[in-house]
Amino acid sequence: MSFDVQFHHVSVDIAKTRILNDISFSMKPGLLTMVLGANGSGKSTLLKTLAKNIPVSSGEVMINQSPLSKIQLSDFAKYRAVLTQQTTMSFQMKVEEIVLMGRYPHFNQVPNSIDLKLVEEALKLFELDEFRNRKYDTLSGGEQQRVQFARVYVQIAHITIGGILLLDEPLTFLDVKHQVSFLHLLRKIVLGKQLTCLMVIHDINLAMNYGDYFLFLKDGELLAKGLKSEVQNADLINMVFELNATMIQHKDLNFFSF
Amino acid sequence: MGINPRFILFLFLLCSVFIIFFSAIFGAVSIDFSAMTNALSKLVFKSELNLTERIFVELRLPRVLLAFSTGAILALGGSIMQSLFRNPIVEPGLIGTSSGAAFGAAVFIVFGASLNVQMTAFALPVFAFLGALLASILVFSFSYQKTGMNVLGILLIGVALNALFISGIGFLSYISRDPQARSITFWSLGSLSGANWQNTFVVWVTLALSFAGLTPLNKQLQLFSLGEENALYLGVNVSQLRIKVMLINVIMVSIATAFVGVISFVGLIIPHIYRFIAGSSTRFSLINTAMLGGMFLCSADLLARVLFAPAELPIGVVTSLVGVPVFIILLKRTHVL
């Protein structure tokens, strides 16, 4: 089952401060939506609102025509997965045990054969087979993020077509090589499974080259939204980030220089 | 390491039975196997017991069983609190429970007679339980915020209140007469000498109920190792789980502590030792950790009874003397240090 997501005039207040103001947009399955904006613009709050971590103060988030506030957290966890910046484990664990945790919302006491099969597939897809018995703490930052990505993927992997995937600055602690391979894999999964995907990202050039749809936030307001052709211009970037960037064309790709 | 948890379960069950019987044999009076079987069969047929048999039935057996259940409760408490706080140095008494219990007991020892409290066998445990409850409620109410409970806040306030209650105990020892001060010291180091069938029964029922309450929460609790935010994204109602787990911990540790006094270190080291044996596997982790705690305290109580027999050591002294070196060796072996 694939999911349409809609924000209807959503505002969020935290400790009486308005963090998001009157945000409206919609997301379609199979498209990678990139959220861009300066620090403190409300990007993470937007993602956490959609993840059901922070409640809306007014407006409504709709998932396939039903309000998010009416969906049980434990039900939501069966088709919505979230990858955060970096995850430190409080206890030493093996890679395969961490990936299996993605299946915890689906079984009661003991994982069934489907859970175990999905974990096996994820270990192969994310090229973690050789690490499966390694302790998480002994992996590099890039490998750790791949383990967490596999865990997040496996949470919604039972849905043949569809699912909601949210990523909160997952590239922060990765080098350029790992950033690119991460985005390649992400695109492949989003397209293949027709996921409804939202990603908070800092790198404008990477976002433009891998995203399908874009949201630009500034001081809690949604300044612009649209497809690449609609938003890829220096004026908008300069307004959002208060910069003097120029756009450079190389073959059929555009890049910003700051 | 990382031994199969099902095998550990089986092994621990056997060892538990063995250790319970083994500790029942030794003590100031040795009880051989035939005396045990005689006593048990006489119990069934309700015939008169001789002195050795009475020592076994009325003193030794409840004591050994009380030691086992108390150790199990402390180890369980340590295990769940370490998961909840995502911190390996947490122990069950951290949120004020143990020092509160000791303070309650000290108040009873010093003022019990002048307060005209009925001197029944349950008077001191009731005071200790109320002390533990009072301390835990204070920690909760000080760290409560509208947005939910702040974990670091609970830890800091727990540490502060522990210090306050320990000063209170020190003050009570200072103003009391010598025998009372000795009782306070004895109680603060823990002792199983007050074991009888009544309190053993209460502690076992507490253990069984707590275990039944924790089993369905264990899977969610394991997700805390990913951090509270990730646990929430995996469908865990974080604040509700936190309250449930802390409530069960406070109740079971208060009750156990009320009867036996403050026994340090079991709750801290047993979960670590279990993780060393079983690795990070979560299957049967609750029951295995509980059994390991039970076996440890049974053995510690045996040492407390026989090392200077017929005199007894406070059990807290034994658990620390045995526990600290074992703990440090383990930390070295697992390259934490």
Instruction: Say if the Cβ atoms of B229 and A91 lie within 8 Å.
Output: no
- Residue B310 to residue B315: CA distance in whole angstroms: 15
Q: How far is the alpha carbon of B230 from chain A, nearest alpha carbon, in Å?
A: 8
A213-218 and A32-37 strand pairing: parallel
- Helical (H) or strand (E) element with A218: strand A213-218
Q: What is the predicted pLDDT for the residue at B117? A: 63
Q: What is the predicted pLDDT for the residue at B55? A: 79
CB contact, 8 Å: A77 with chain B? yes
pLDDT tens digits, one per residue of A73-104: 999 999 999 999 888 888 888 999 999 999 99
CB contact, 8 Å: A123 with chain B? no
Q: HSE (CB half, 13 Å, CA atoms) of A4? A: 7
CB contact, 8 Å: A86 with chain B? no
Let me know if residue A99 belongs to a domain: yes
- Residue B87 to residue B331: CA distance in whole angstroms: 15
State the helix-helix crossing angle for B5-25 and B33-45, rounded to 10 degrees: 90
Region B110-115: mean pLDDT is 76
Our count of domains for chain A comes to 1
- Residue B1 pLDDT > 60: no
Region B62-86: mean pLDDT is 93
Q: HSE (CB half, 13 Å, CA atoms) of A131? A: 27
φ, ψ of residue B88 in degrees (nearest 5): -75, -5
Let me know if residue A57 belongs to a domain: no
pLDDT tens digits, one per residue of A193-205: 999 999 999 999 9
- Residue B221 pLDDT > 70: yes
Question: Please, which residues bridge with residue A18 across strands?
Answer: A13
pLDDT tens digits, one per residue of A184-238: 999 999 999 999 999 999 999 999 999 999 999 999 999 999 998 898 888 888 8
Mutate to test the interface with B, among A90, A107, A109, A153 (most CBs of B within 10 A): A90
Q: How far is the alpha carbon of B304 from chain A, nearest alpha carbon, in Å?
A: 33
Q: What is the CATH number of the domain that holds A154?
A: 3.40.50.300
- Residue B337 pLDDT > 60: no
Instruction: Say if the Cβ atoms of A53 and B233 lie within 8 Å.
Output: yes
- Residue B234 to residue B217: CA distance in whole angstroms: 14
Q: Can you tell me whether residue A167 is helix, strand or coil?
A: strand
> Prior bond to B310 cis, omega within 30?
yes
Q: In chain B, what are the domains?
A: 5-333 (1.10.3470.10)
Distance of CA B288 to the CA centre of its chain: 15
Total-model pTM: 0.88
Let me know if residue A22 belongs to a domain: no
pLDDT tens digits, one per residue of B188-208: 888 888 888 888 999 999 999
**What one-character DSSP code corresponds to residue B194?**
T
Q: Is A83:A149 a contact under the CB 8 Å cutoff?
A: yes
Distances in whole angstroms, Cα of residue A173 to Cα of each of A35, A122, A131, A146, A178:
18, 22, 20, 12, 9
Instruction: Say if the Cβ atoms of A87 and B237 lie within 8 Å.
Output: no
Let me know if residue A200 belongs to a domain: yes
Q: Pseudo-torsion of CA B27, B33, B35, B39, nearest 10°? A: 100
Q: What is the predicted pLDDT for the residue at B295? A: 96
Let me know if residue A12 belongs to a domain: no
- Residue B263 pLDDT > 60: yes
Let me know if residue A128 belongs to a domain: yes
Shortest CA distance from B279: residue in chain A: A93
- Residue A120 pLDDT > 80: yes
Q: What is the predicted pLDDT for the residue at A54? A: 93
Nearest C-alpha neighbor of B145 from the set B245, B247, B242: B242
Give CA angle at A21 (B240, A221), nearest 5°: 125
Q: How far is the alpha carbon of A237 from chain B, nearest alpha carbon, in Å?
A: 31
Instruction: Say if the Cβ atoms of B225 and A91 lie within 8 Å.
Output: yes
Q: Which residues of B touch A53 (CB under 8 A)?
A: 229, 232-233
Rg (CA), chain B: 20
Q: Can you tell me whether residue A184 is helix, strand or coil?
A: helix
- Give the residue carrying structure tokens 């320990």: B166
Largest CA distance in chain A: 56
Structure tokens at B220: 């969610």
Let me know if residue A137 belongs to a domain: yes
- Residue B147 pLDDT > 90: no
Q: Could you report how far apart the first and last alpha carbons of chain B are, in Å? A: 17
Which ranges in chain B belong to alpha helices (H)? 5-25, 33-45, 51-54, 61-85, 97-111, 123-143, 151-175, 178-188, 197-214, 218-223, 228-233, 238-260, 266-278, 285-306, 315-333
**What one-character DSSP code corresponds to residue B48?**
P
Q: How far is the alpha carbon of A254 from chain B, nearest alpha carbon, in Å?
A: 36
φ, ψ of residue A238 in degrees (nearest 5): -65, -35
CB contact, 8 Å: A74 with chain B? yes
Let me know if residue A64 belongs to a domain: no
Distances in whole angstroms, Cα of residue A112 to Cα of each of A25, B165, B318:
39, 49, 44
Q: What is the predicted pLDDT for the residue at B148? A: 59
**What one-character DSSP code corresponds to residue A169?**
S
Q: Is A25:A225 a contact under the CB 8 Å cutoff?
A: yes
Domain that holds residue A129: 28-51+72-257
